Structure 1
Amino acid sequence: MQKVASLPLPPQDAQDASNALAVCIGDAIDASGGWIGFDRYMSMALYAPRLGYYSGGAAKFGRDARDGSDFITAPELTPFFARTLAREFAPLLAAGLPAVMEFGAGTGRLAADLLLALETEGALPARYEIVELSGELRERQRRTLADRAPHLADRVIWHDTLPERFEGVIVGNEVLDAMPVRLFAREGGRWHERGVRREGTTGFAFQDRVLADDEVPAALLAMPGDHDVVTETHAEAEGFVRAVGAMLARGVAFFIDYGFPASEYYHPQRAGGTLMCHYRHHAHPDPFLYPGLQDITAHVNFTGIAEAAVESGLNVEGFCSQARYLMNAGITELLMTLDPSDVRAFLPAANAVQKLLSEAEMGELFKVIALSRNADTIENFSLAGFQRGDRTYTL
């Protein structure tokens, strides 16, 4: 197993699991004639049963490398994230939407904190539904709920797949970025699909295949210029949004993730694409390092997400930066419920909120998009988070 100098070496049992996954991926490559698309590689690396990053036992979410985690998300950073979302969700639930559904619930921290905050708002949903494929993460979510909100845990139910019909509020925080992407490279004016071949016994390398003109995705044909570029397309995330659209009978879906509208995503200056990996709180560009032990992500093309939503009959209710959304929805007012003179309590909370809002941290790179169906039947429907700074016009 290759090791990068700046990254810690995994323990032996983790290396063994990674090597076992590498064998499975190698077998898939052999069975496909020596080459697979990057989307298939990414799918196996993240979701292969028992061995993939999200289906195995890695810690994933946490504050730093000392707890064995690879990255931190907004719900883990501060409860004020969930409390702010609860202020937006509460009027929708009070108006008759019966349930909340979460995708990618991670440790269960957002679920627990949302339920507690909605209880405070007097707007507890009848059900809190979590769509989760990973058995290991389900157990972690159950433990978190039992620890943080034991009196509300019986409201939570889990699904392996999307139900046929749902009415309520949907939330997905950092879900779309973890869905497999296809990689493409334009070199000398010709488009190639960048796939994966074997390199040695358990290693892998990129290999490009020339595409015929009618094989080039429409999003790439619209890319300005003729410069050399590597980039991604997001068929799986867009298909997921269409499936959500087919499921949602009435309500609003909120997706929070890092990304851009297409004009920025495919801007000529972004010539290297957005693929990124995370291992022990180190970001690096090598998706073939430690298969199954590291996260692999790509930024979200929110224009594609919005178009997929509209195709499935949803309305785009708003799109803006995370900072603008959270401030509109009242995060600073919530923070000021703490006593600023209590420095030990106030300063850590303020610092965490600042990370959510700062342009240098998560505030600008992360975006919020809201999608709805039959919102006109929800009494006094409005979304405070998009009252100022809405960028739907950029999609």
Structure 2
Amino acid sequence: MNTNLPEPGTEERAHAEHLATLLRNEIRVNGPMPFARWMELCLYAPALGYYSAGRTKFGPAGDFVTAPELGDLFARCIARAFAPTLRALGADADFLELGGGSGAFALAALRELAAQDALPRRFLILEPSADLAARQRERIAAELPPEVAARVQWIARPPEAGWRGVLFANEVVDALPTTRFTLKDGEVFEEHVALEGERFVCIDRPADLLVANAVRHLERALGAPFDDGYRSEVLPQLPYWVQAVCGSLEAGAVLFVDYGYPRREFYLPERRDGTLVCHYRHRAHADPLHWPGLTDLTAFVDFTALAEAGVGAGLDFTGYAPQGQFLLASGLLDLVGDDLPEVLRVQRIAEVKRLTLPGDMGERFQAIAFTRGGVEALPGLRAFDLSHRL
């Protein structure tokens, strides 16, 4: 157990123990649990998972800060980048946001789209957390004009009927339940969570065919086998997930922003324990078994795999670039404003620095985009395209 982390209160302890009981019961019935299943339950178990329960997740009072929580510049810049595409697609164009967070992105984006005369017919939020959806509804109803708020709809699954518009996902792929693998005597093993008495422990078991094939695909793409003992993450389900969320898009653009690397950087030999990171009260740690339901679990994104999945789903690849370069090329500095009070101007400049500097979010976060239906979109991303790195 990580002793450098703050101790939870009585209610939080009870919450974590409730989820731990559910996890123990499933392990006792089904045997050791694949790590991907552990992560799925810890994040999304109804009423108990990290994103499903009622704790504050985002901002200073939560466990981490996302780009939309820094201020409104990130969302406004994304909205401006999408505005020409929405206008070109016409009155029936929709905007689909995957995972609405605190609602900050939707608020700022809708205000900017209204200013750009590019409001979508519907602003759809695909939000798996009932708690977060309720908070988003309350905030949007309170802070947006009724005629704009009326365009916002919440959905529980991707649209099944064909639609036109744009899809945006910020820090979503990193929260997909990931598979952890390792190599022993050249064979692929998958990390599981087991029980020793009442205590959770990680063990390795021979991988099934899906996981083994995913790892062998990585080795072929990298041109060399992984060393014994090398441990990392892979998302065998990523192609199916991208197809599920993008498959019904008939014409439009798709943009993913997340932290990660191209494949050759993701699986560097020295990164031999993977990229899994746990967040608890603004502290990062490496123990995914610590306080289940109270800790956010994420893994960096293999952007090469995301590019493969997008093309495999029938999308046209548009470009790939660091977040900072993409935002600057999309007019981020134009949003700072020259006629603001000095205090607000200083705040916005600080926000720009966090979003764009290489040592902060500027290079750690990456943007990748696709289109469908012959749509032209996101010239700011194409201006700094680094797809040769994928």
TM-score range (shorter-chain normalised) is: over 0.9
The more displaced of 206-215 and 155-164 is: 206-215
SS at match of 1:5: coil
Displacement of 1:90 after TM fit?
A: 0.8
Q: Is the 8 A contact 2:317 2:370 kept in 1?
A: yes
1:11 and 1:124, CA in 2 relative to 1: closer, same or farther beyond 3 A? Answer: same
User: Normalised by the size of structure 1, how large is the TM-score?
Assistant: 0.92
Q: Identify which of 164, 175, 178 aligns with 2:175.
A: 178
Displacement of 1:212 after TM fit?
A: 7.8
Residue of structure 2 in register with 1:20 after alignment:
18
Residue of structure 2 in register with 1:388 after alignment:
383
2-structure distance, mates of 1:40, 1:139: 26
Residue of structure 1 in register with 2:101 after alignment:
106
The more displaced of 135-144 and 173-182 is: 135-144
1-structure distance, mates of 2:196, 2:358: 40
Alignment of 1:136-285 (within 5 A): 136-151=131-146, 152-164=148-160, 165-201=162-198, 203-211=199-207, 215-217=212-214, 218-222=216-220, 223=222, 224-227=224-227, 228-285=229-286
SS at match of 1:95: helix
SS at match of 1:363: helix
Residue of structure 2 in register with 1:11 after alignment:
9
SS at match of 1:170: strand
Q: Identify which of 115, 124, 129 aligns with 2:124.
A: 129
Q: Is the 8 A contact 2:169 2:257 kept in 1?
A: yes
1-structure distance, mates of 2:145, 2:98: 21
Alignment of 1:42-57 (within 5 A): 42-57=39-54
* AA partner of residue 47 (structure 1): Y
Q: Is the 8 A contact 1:90 1:118 kept in 2?
A: yes
User: Normalised by the size of structure 2, how large is the TM-score?
Assistant: 0.93
Q: Is the 8 A contact 1:260 1:299 kept in 2?
A: yes
Q: Is the 8 A contact 1:196 1:204 kept in 2?
A: yes
> Structure 2: 5+ residue runs without aligned partners?
none
Residue of structure 1 in register with 2:67 after alignment:
74
1-structure distance, mates of 2:327, 2:335: 11
Residue of structure 2 in register with 1:30 after alignment:
28
* AA partner of residue 73 (structure 2): F
Q: What root-mean-square deviation, in Å, do the aligned CA atoms of Structure 1 and Structure 2 show?
A: 1.7
Deviations 1:125-154 (A, max 9, x none): 111001111110011111221233233211
Residue of structure 1 in register with 2:85 after alignment:
92
SS at match of 2:247: helix
2-structure distance, mates of 1:382, 1:252: 7
* AA partner of residue 50 (structure 1): A
* AA partner of residue 330 (structure 1): G
Deviations 1:158-198 (A, max 9, x none): 11111113210111100000000000112453332111101
Displacement of 1:303 after TM fit?
A: 1.1
Alignment of 1:332-343 (within 5 A): 332-335=333-336, 337-339=337-339, 342-343=341-342
Residue of structure 2 in register with 1:39 after alignment:
36
Alignment of 1:323-334 (within 5 A): 323-334=324-335
2-structure distance, mates of 1:59, 1:390: 36
1-structure distance, mates of 2:290, 2:202: 13
Deviations 1:233-260 (A, max 9, x none): 1123332112123121111111100011
Displacement of 1:267 after TM fit?
A: 1.7
2-structure distance, mates of 1:109, 1:382: 24
2-structure distance, mates of 1:362, 1:134: 26
Residue of structure 2 in register with 1:304 after alignment:
305
Deviations 1:311-342 (A, max 9, x none): 1111111111001110110101221x1437x3
Q: Is the 8 A contact 2:239 2:312 kept in 1?
A: no
1-structure distance, mates of 2:258, 2:226: 29
Q: Is the 8 A contact 1:103 1:173 kept in 2?
A: yes
Displacement of 1:352 after TM fit?
A: 1.3
* AA partner of residue 365 (structure 1): R
2-structure distance, mates of 1:332, 1:298: 31
1:382 and 1:245, CA in 2 relative to 1: closer, same or farther beyond 3 A? Answer: closer
SS at match of 2:80: helix
SS at match of 1:60: coil
Q: Is the 8 A contact 1:328 1:387 kept in 2?
A: no
SS at match of 1:206: strand
Q: Is the 8 A contact 2:89 2:164 kept in 1?
A: no
> Structure 1: 5+ residue runs without aligned partners?
none
Segments ≥4 residues shifted beyond 4 Å = 211-214
1:226 and 1:300, CA in 2 relative to 1: closer, same or farther beyond 3 A? Answer: closer
Q: Equivalent pairs: percent with the same residue?
A: 38
The more displaced of 170-179 and 257-266 is: 257-266
